[in-house]
Amino acid sequence: MTKIIYIINGPNLNLLGNRETEIYGQSTLNDIENKCKEYSKNLCLDIVFKQSNIEGEIVNFIQEAGNKASGVIINPAAYTHTSVAIHDALKSLIVPSIEIHLSQPAKRESFRHKSFVAEVVNGTISGFGPNSYLLAMKAIDDLLKS
Residues of this chain that bind ligand DQA (CB under 6 A): 12, 75, 77-78, 80, 101-103, 105, 112
Annotate the chain with DSSP letters as a single string: --EEEEEEE-TTGGGTTTS-HHHH-S--HHHHHHHHHHHHHHHTEEEEEEE-S-HHHHHHHHHHHHHH-SEEEEE-GGGGGT-HHHHHHHHT-SS-EEEEESS-GGGS-GGGS--SSGGGSSEEEESSTTHHHHHHHHHHHHHHH-
Report the nearest approach of ligand DQA to the CB of residue 96 (Å): 19
If the CB atoms of residues 5 and 70 are measured against ligand DQA, the closer one turns out to be 5
Report the nearest approach of ligand DQA to the CB of residue 29 (Å): 11
Report the nearest approach of ligand DQA to the CB of residue 124 (Å): 11
If the CB atoms of residues 78 and 120 are measured against ligand DQA, the closer one turns out to be 78
- Annotated catalytic residue within 6, 79, 87, 101: 101
- Annotated catalytic residue within 24, 79, 87, 133: 24
Residue 6 appears among annotated catalytic residues: no
Angle at the Cα of 114 from the Cα atoms of 31 and 7, rounded to 5 degrees: 30
Residue 24 appears among annotated catalytic residues: yes
If the CB atoms of residues 40 and 75 are measured against ligand DQA, the closer one turns out to be 75
Give the residue numbers annotated as catalytic, written as ranges: 24, 101
